[in-house]
Structure 1
Amino acid sequence: MGKHVRTDDGRLLMAEEWGNPSGTPVLLLHGTPGSRLGTALPDLATHHPDVRFFAYDRPGYGGSERLPGRRVADAARDAAAVADALGVERFAVVGRSGGAPHALACAALLPGRVRAAAALVTIAPRDAAGLDWFAGMTPFNVREYGLATESPELLDEDLAARAAAVRKDPEGLVEDLRAELSEHDLPIVSDPAVRATLLRTYREALGTSHHGWTDDCLAFTRPWGFEVSDVTTPVLLWHGLDDAFSPPSHTRWLAARIAGSTLVLEPDAGHFAAQYALPRVLEWLRAQEDGGA
């Protein structure tokens, strides 16, 4: 069951924790659109009995109140509020897809609390110098991120309609995704555990409104509120080379600017392979812990 957490500015965030209450704390940040219920496959905690997992719905998703004008950087403050409410001082953080830039924000802005961070299938800042930002990106993402830059009102109308359709038929969004999936992603999304997790998170994320989806897109395409080069926490950057939702060039760009980061480019893997990569990511986080990170 979720738990409401109040932030220092009075907002409510819906949080969740599971796994070993005495284990090593790991914050999981969900994708776009998404919720705390879609951060990991159901058996992850069973296979990692030494981990205390926690997650929360970003503002505007699920049970969390909206934060108009939020920036990627605001995730650090919200993550700290959730950790405080759960009695967690230091923790690792893993963000997948839309959660990945927010994981980098936590690494940059909470260096005293975040032991290590992993950003899986991330995008780079929209103003990334020298990066052809839209190159290799699916038509859907090109459209939505383009609207976020050129016409936020149209973006909001478009996502409001899509969210309403998802509320009626969550399967529809999964089927829409299939049209843009790579050959390596198709079997993953057909995996019953992955499909069930996607449907669960979409229902929760968009059950009340589309605002979280809109605000994510706007936050990604505006200044993030921190410099990725300021990250000094150990960071793992993981990307499937057959990813068209978040092109691998974005992660390569970040790796060149985050000193000491660990770059993993996975051949024959797409966007949704990041779900399967989580166990190896947790092992990397454990290695940082053992090394005194």
Structure 2
Amino acid sequence: METVVLPDGRTLEYLVEGPAEGLPLVLHHGTPAAAVRYGPLAVPGIRLVLISRPGYGTSTEDPGRSVASAAADTAAVLDAAGIAEFVTAGWSGGGPHALACAALLPGRCLAVATMAGVAPSEAEGLDWLDGMGSENVEEFGAAAAGRAKLEAFLNHAAETMGEVKGSEVIEAFGDLIADVDKQALVGGFADYLAQSFRHALSGGIAGWRDDDLAFTKPWGFELATIEPPVSIWQGDQDRMVPFGHGQWLAEHLPDPEVHLLPGEGHLSLIDNFKLIVATLRRQAAA
């Protein structure tokens, strides 16, 4: 794990793995999560960059941050790592942050993928909570009610997620996962998610809280301004970020390559990671 000190004094933790000559890929983690190694994410020819967003792991919190804030933070990490151009992908709550990099770093970001990524909460024509598991409905209801209500909810949830083991992940997810996701939670994947949750919440709930609050307000950029090529990946069995989010993004992002996948859930979507990376590589080279 490496760290970079930002101009405002905050510190971000990050990992860079893969060949120095590989195509840099910034993978924005979900909510909650952090920069944790996972072997299947290592794709030949790719230099993978993982960043713990503010408030996760040992990264300093940044209260009041917006989704757009991720672009400057990402640029600072890339500068520290000696990386100029890159591609990016965001999984789940990382999706909006990847789109922020595409919108606000157009001279550096060559392509972007959103993997089961969240749509804007104010998205016209989208019932944002429709199809979400009961835990997410309660969580974002608390977020809409304000910081105090959200902190109370997350502090309680973190009692479980902050100590969870791989063998307990299915139970911890509760109503948030469909059968296809339960089938995906075997062996190393469950252990990786548990490790990511534990590290993310090791310093408290600030990262989780500030992600949720950022999702409930304007992101700080316009989707229509995104210039790099975009691909959208979404499963119709997703109970964390429902299928409607992917459909809405497909209709509102500039000329995206759309992969709406029948039978895939939220977690099982990671099985498509090599194909997602191949798509990013192809788009970056176009």
Q: Which TM-score bucket, shorter chain as reference?
A: over 0.9
Q: What's the CA shift string for 1:130-183, capped at 9, x where partnerless?
A: 111111111111111111112321111221222233334445554221443112
Q: What's the CA shift string for 1:22-59, capped at 9, x where partnerless?
A: 21111111011000116xx41332xx221111111000
Please name the residue that 1:111 is paired with: 106
How far apart are residue 258 of structure 1 and its match?
Answer: 1.2
How far apart are residue 88 of structure 1 and its match?
Answer: 0.3
Is the Cα contact below 8 Å between 2:163 and 2:198 reproduced in 1?
A: no
Q: What's the CA shift string for 1:234-290, capped at 9, x where partnerless?
A: 011100111111011111111111111111011111000221111100100111133
Q: Return the alpha-carbon distance in structure 2 between the equivalents of residues 67 and 170 of structure 1.
A: 28
SS in structure 2 of the partner of residue 37 of structure 1 = coil
Is the Cα contact below 8 Å between 1:23 and 1:51 reproduced in 2?
A: yes
Is the Cα contact below 8 Å between 1:108 and 1:231 reproduced in 2?
A: yes
Out of 39, 43, 57, the position equivalent to 2:40 is 43
SS in structure 1 of the partner of residue 252 of structure 2 = coil
SS in structure 1 of the partner of residue 244 of structure 2 = helix
Select between 207-216 and 167-176 the one with higher mean Cα deviation.
167-176
Please name the residue that 1:214 is paired with: 209
Is the Cα contact below 8 Å between 1:178 and 1:186 reproduced in 2?
A: no
Out of 264, 267, 271, the position equivalent to 1:272 is 267
Please name the residue that 2:249 is paired with: 254
Q: 2:52 matched to 1:57? A: yes
Output the amino acid matched with 2:206: H
Q: Return the alpha-carbon distance in structure 2 between the equivalents of residues 129 and 218 of structure 1.
A: 19
Percent identical among aligned pairs is: 39
Output the amino acid matched with 1:23: G
Is the Cα contact below 8 Å between 2:181 and 2:268 reproduced in 1?
A: yes
Q: Return the alpha-carbon distance in structure 2 between the equivalents of residues 123 and 44 of structure 1.
A: 21
Please name the residue that 2:176 is paired with: 180
How far apart are residue 188 of structure 1 and its match?
Answer: 0.3
Q: 2:244 matched to 1:235? A: no
Q: 2:30 matched to 1:31? A: yes
Q: Return the alpha-carbon distance in structure 1 between the equivalents of residues 15 and 91 of structure 2.
A: 17
Q: Return the alpha-carbon distance in structure 2 between the equivalents of residues 236 and 167 of structure 1.
A: 32
Please name the residue that 1:137 is paired with: 132
SS in structure 2 of the partner of residue 36 of structure 1 = coil
Q: Which runs of 5+ in 2 are unaligned?
A: none
Is the Cα contact below 8 Å between 1:8 and 1:81 reproduced in 2?
A: no
Q: Return the alpha-carbon distance in structure 2 between the equivalents of residues 193 and 145 of structure 1.
A: 29
Q: Return the alpha-carbon distance in structure 1 between the equivalents of residues 169 and 209 of structure 2.
A: 16
Q: Given the superposition, is the C-alpha separation of residues 8 and 274 from structure 1 closer, same or farther in structure 2, using an over 3 Å criterion?
A: farther
SS in structure 2 of the partner of residue 232 of structure 1 = coil
Q: Count how many residue pairs are aligned between Structure 1 and Structure 2.
A: 285
Moved over 3 A (4+): 164-174
Output the amino acid matched with 1:266: L
Q: Which runs of 5+ in 1 are unaligned?
A: none
Please name the residue that 2:220 is paired with: 225
Q: Return the alpha-carbon distance in structure 2 between the equivalents of residues 161 and 180 of structure 1.
A: 17
Output the amino acid matched with 1:64: S
TM-score between the two structures when normalised by the length of structure 1: 0.93
Out of 141, 161, 164, the position equivalent to 2:159 is 164
Is the Cα contact below 8 Å between 2:165 and 2:191 reproduced in 1?
A: no
Q: Given the superposition, is the C-alpha separation of residues 220 and 83 from structure 1 closer, same or farther in structure 2, using an over 3 Å criterion?
A: same
Please name the residue that 1:10 is paired with: 9
Q: Return the alpha-carbon distance in structure 2 between the equivalents of residues 280 and 169 of structure 1.
A: 30
